[in-house]
């Protein structure tokens, strides 16, 4: 008796994802949040079924990596649950860890200014999240294991919000969402796709605090993002 997976494969209906192990954490390699045949990581499948409030609660209880031992607060994200724009950063810093909200420190002030220049504001057709929901000690770069453990939350947030456009702020967000290892410079100026949603890459606001001369590049990227949104989904761009 052939298995269901074998039948689906014969019919050319096999799912486009397959499981792979990365740093010991199993994950769906391509599109789906949950699969069939019971071969998907049960934690990922459970998170992929959560509604918005339950997701926030789950993040608050999460102990999937070592960052739960050093965080003060989890930082799930902030904004409109039906936002057209979604901005994704790297991880909470000290201010965010204390307040439970992303981008509330100096980099956040700059992000708010960038949003205002686009006539946007956090919470108003904008959702802001990070790859990691807990602060890495001393703001170190996230470890691959931490990214893998937290990734189901970001995937679920994006699925629930269904933004018209994602802006990846910096290398961590871009490389995580696109599953590549590349520089921000090499990823700019292109419309990428995250599970079908257009995604544009620009520099992280914290980088701009250190390199203010590159602010013009980010402004260029944000105008490109707005143009893309207007062209791809005009109704949502004006909402």
Candidates 16-24, 98-106, 194-202, 222-230 — which segment interacts with ligand URA by CB under 6 A?
98-106
Q: How far is the CB of 165 from ligand URA (least distance, A)?
A: 18
| Integer Cα distance of 31 and 154 in angstroms | 14
Q: How far is the CB of 105 from ligand URA (least distance, A)?
A: 6
60 alpha carbon, distance to own chain's centre: 17
Site for ligand URA in 110-139 (CB under 6 A): 130
Short-list 234, 238, 38, 74, CA closest to 153: 74
CA distance to 149, 187, 229, 238, 239, per residue, from 83 (Å): 25, 24, 12, 12, 10
Q: How far is the CB of 93 from ligand URA (least distance, A)?
A: 4
Which one of residues 35, 76, 77, 89 is an interface residue with ligand URA (CB under 6 A)?
Answer: 89
Q: How far is the CB of 223 from ligand URA (least distance, A)?
A: 22
Short-list 149, 207, 196, CA closest to 176: 149
Residue count, binding to ligand URA (CB under 6 A): 13
Binding site for ligand URA (CB under 6 A): 89-93, 96, 102-103, 105, 107-108, 130, 206
């Amino acid at each position: 008796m052939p298995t269901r997976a074998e039948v689906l494969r014969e019919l050319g209906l096999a799912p486009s994802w397959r499981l792979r192990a990365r740093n010991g954490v199993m994950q769906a390699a391509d599109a789906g949040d949950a699969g069939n045949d019971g071969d998907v990581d049960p934690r990922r499948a459970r998170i992929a079924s959560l509604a918005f409030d339950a997701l926030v609660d789950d993040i608050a209880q999460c102990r999937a990596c070592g960052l739960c031992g050093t965080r003060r607060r989890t930082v799930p994200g902030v904004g409109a649950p039906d936002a057209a724009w979604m901005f994704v950063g790297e991880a909470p810093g000290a201010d965010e860890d204390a307040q439970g909200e992303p981008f509330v420190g100096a980099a956040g002030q700059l992000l708010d200014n960038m949003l205002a220049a686009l006539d946007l504001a956090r919470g108003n057709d904008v959702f802001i999240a990070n790859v990691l929901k807990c602060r890495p000690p001393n703001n170190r770069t996230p470890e691959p294991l931490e990214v893998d453990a937290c990734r189901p939350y970001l995937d679920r947030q994006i699925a629930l919000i269904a933004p018209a456009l994602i802006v990846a702020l910096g290398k961590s967000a871009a490389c995580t969402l696109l599953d590549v290892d590349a520089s921000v410079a090499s990823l700019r100026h292109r419309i990428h796709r995250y599970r079908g949603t257009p995604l544009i890459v620009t520099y992280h606001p914290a980088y701009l605090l250190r390199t203010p001369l590159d602010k013009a590049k980010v402004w260029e990227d944000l105008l490109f993002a707005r143009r893309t949104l207007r062209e791809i989904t005009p109704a949502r761009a004006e909402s």
